[in-house]
Amino acid sequence: MTTQGTTMYWLEHAWLGTHVEPGVAVDVADGRITAVRTGTATPPPGAVALRGLTIPGLANAHSHAFHRALRGTVQVGSGTFWTWREVMYDIAGRLTPDSYYALARAVYAEMALAGITCVGEFHYLHHAPGGTPYDDPNAMGEALIAAAADAGIRITLLDTAYLSAGFGAPPGQHQQRFSDGSADAWAERAAALKDGRAHARIGAAIHSVRAVPAEQLGTVAQWAAARQAPLHVHLSEQTAENDACREHHGCTPTRLLADHGALGRRTTAVHATHLTPEDIGLLGGTGTGVCMCPTTERDLADGIGPAVPLQQHGSPLSLGSDSHAVIDLLEEARAMELDERLRTRTRGHWTAAALLRAATADGHAALGWDDAGTLTTGALADFTTIALDSVRTAGPLPRLAAETAVFAASAADVRHTVVGGRQIVRDGTHTLLPDVPTALAETIAALHASD
């Protein structure tokens, strides 16, 4: 029912944070939920019916959009994280603002098809090859923001300081376009990004302790703190990073970040795979969040991070698809639990509800969207509907729909995605970019054309 910007959606089944509720009517006006009414057994006249399980929109808290062009290519043969990185650098060197916009629009459309309504883009591909700034120094970041708008999802652009090839070494050939030269120069450029757009917010990121000299970590942290903006950082993804940090600074990366004021409730550590007990205490004790990216961590053979003790010590957990080996937040949620089962040989570390919170409310909070991620009055009207009648999801009782979604469904089961009250995906088709596979194929083929 649409009247003067007001829309009513009828949800056959809705996950309301603690349980699945049948027959829920949701009123939307000006992009926000204005009413949630349970006990609505059939669609009211004129309501848009969403059949299946509707949950809050999924938040992809860690993305490198251009990594989508690596899918398949980097699965050939064996290798390590470091050999994978060389292939990644090659793709990064080919992108322009126009080609990055085209690729990112297709990638973000793929995310919408997977039920993702907000992405945290960890963005360090700032300048032209060789490090020369574009006429607009933020041309690449603006391309990502425009791509998200045209794909119909929200974005937190986590503008990333990346200044060193490793603990003070100058950027290598492939890394020159990532670097602003100093944290002060990074801060000046990042400050020119316009914040406050309806679909976009600006945050900051420290690429890693190896890529930002220790004496400049505080500059990035203070920039984020002054703006009350999210601050993200790759942390202890590889044991080699930990070893090098101890060699250069006599401490772990977590301790180094703590000593320079980079931890806290607005900070999210990404991966946090190889931590000491002291590291876990530092992260949890400061309320620093942790974004787990299980599909990438297993694809790169990084290891399984200590998610359970991190949460027990006070770190909120979020999820990301990172390198986009797959784009499926349901798989990320499932993998966090199943990886822990393999590691401990015990079951039941998180309930389906807890895993959905990581993929929705806690993911949005990590990206600075505290007003999203719940189906409640006043929240942003961002939600997604998962089919309960596919070959993967048919059979279980509707009251078990949350368990079915987390432990059996996939991105292929997403039927509808609504962002700001507008239906971006309808019956499995993207309404703004109807042929997403072709868009992905064409943009990725163009990047590989000179191979």
Catalytic site positions:
271, 322
| Spatial contact of 148 and 116, defined as CB atoms under 8 Å apart | no
User: Any idea which residue has 């939920």 for tokens?
Assistant: 33
Candidates 396, 387, 391; CA nearest to 416 is: 387
> Which residues have C-beta within 8 Å of that of residue 446, sequence separation ≥ 6?
99, 102
CA distance 302 to 290: 16
CA distance 202 to 196: 8
> Which residues have C-beta within 8 Å of that of residue 99, sequence separation ≥ 6?
443, 446, 447
CA distance 267 to 231: 5
Rounded to the nearest angstrom, the gap between the alpha carbon of residue 172 and the centroid of all alpha carbons in its chain is 27
CA distance 188 to 168: 21
Own/partner contacts of 182-187, CB < 8 Å, gap of 24 or more, are 182/216, 183/212, 183/216, 183/217, 183/219, 183/220, 184/219, 186/159, 186/161, 186/219, 186/220, 187/219, 187/220, 187/223
| Spatial contact of 417 and 425, defined as CB atoms under 8 Å apart | yes
CA distances from 404 to 115, 116, 183, 266, 396 (A): 16, 18, 46, 32, 7
Strand runs labelled E in 198-340? 200-206, 231-235, 267-271, 289-292, 317-319
CA distances from 139 to 127, 224, 233 (A): 8, 21, 22
